[in-house]
Amino acid sequence: MSLGTIIHAGLTRPTRTIVALVLMGGGARTAYQVGVLQAMASMLKLQTNRKQDFPFQVMVGTSAGALNAAFLASTASTGLDAFEKLSGFWAKLHCEDVYRLEVSPWVQFSRLVAAVKLWGNARKHGAILDNMPLVDTLHRTISLAGIEAAFESKAIEAIAVTASSYTSGVHWTFCHTARDEKQKAWNRPGRRAEFQPLTIEHLMASSAIPFLFPSTPLWVDGHREFFGDGSMRQVSPLSPAVHLGAHKVLVVGVGQPQRSGMLGSGQPGEPTMGGIAGHAMASVFHDTLQADVEQTQRLARTLKELPREIAAVLPYRPIEVLAMQPTQSLDAVAQAHVRELPKTVRRALGGLGAMRNGGGALASYLLFEPGFVQELVKLGEQDAYARKEELLAFFG
């Protein structure tokens, strides 16, 4: 996060603490976030002196994390029960609710034929997969009216989703509040913000995984641009939350200690297409979060070490950040569930050699199936309970 962002955020000093939730992207891997948040809600419900209100005032999401953020915002008026509703949504999810790929069974016998078929899809649609099923799913499950109701009841104050413009190369944050016209957007090198009502198109743009899902057009600055996954060029994932006034930020990513398949006993072999694709996806989705968290925490520590008289006159404030990420390899989990992928997807990617030795990394972004999802939810719950004291202190 830039020093300019910290200074800008410190120019306003609210009289109460604003807590933000930042959900990173990662396709089906974001089921892990469901487990973390469900466990967190259970902990808060057991606190006898705590209200059952929704615990976040600002929601920020990227890619599939934007879908989770929007769902929670639309149900925030129900308080802590919103997290149970999110878990119920994921429990019923299948790949066919997110994407489809129609190819002939014989493509599995020829890598060349598979490559030609997928290249044809990419030429025709700008992506390998058709994500129109996701449009229908979002319209059925995310209530835009529910988000407005959450503003009206003051359950939340702001929601923001990020997307990357293929047209201009700018990383955009689309923010929505009860009064967008009174808000001041920010403009930084390579990244901008705009306040406008949230739509399903914003969510589709934010979650358009490059090469896999087609781009989505959105209107910015009075003209149309085409957008893809918000994880691309996301150099400062915590910035929107800070700009929107957060004093505390809980961020849940879906990175991992190390990716399976690339390391192991003995001499590692040449990476397969699946391994390379997984490595590329990991670079798109996860490489900036840890650095941004560390920089924000370092600035907070520095401010707290200053004499109180000096800190009081400085135009910025410390931001408390608690970051949660998986403690186990999600690639390894996905490798055990690869057979759950739709046959057409498995055949096509298998024909390209993308499912061998490291294919779990690529599959982990596409496995919207109950077996994989529930294992990630369980891991998220375990990780959250392992850090119970930290989480409760964060909301203390």
Here the tokens at position 81 are 């029960």
**Of 63, 206, 329, 364, catalytic:** 63
329 is catalytic: no
Distance, in Å, from the CA atom of 102 to the CA atom of 83, rounded to the nearest integer, reads 34
**Of 77, 207, 229, 329, catalytic:** 229
229 is catalytic: yes
- Strand 187-188 and strand 191-195: the pairing is antiparallel
| Residues noted as catalytic | 63, 229
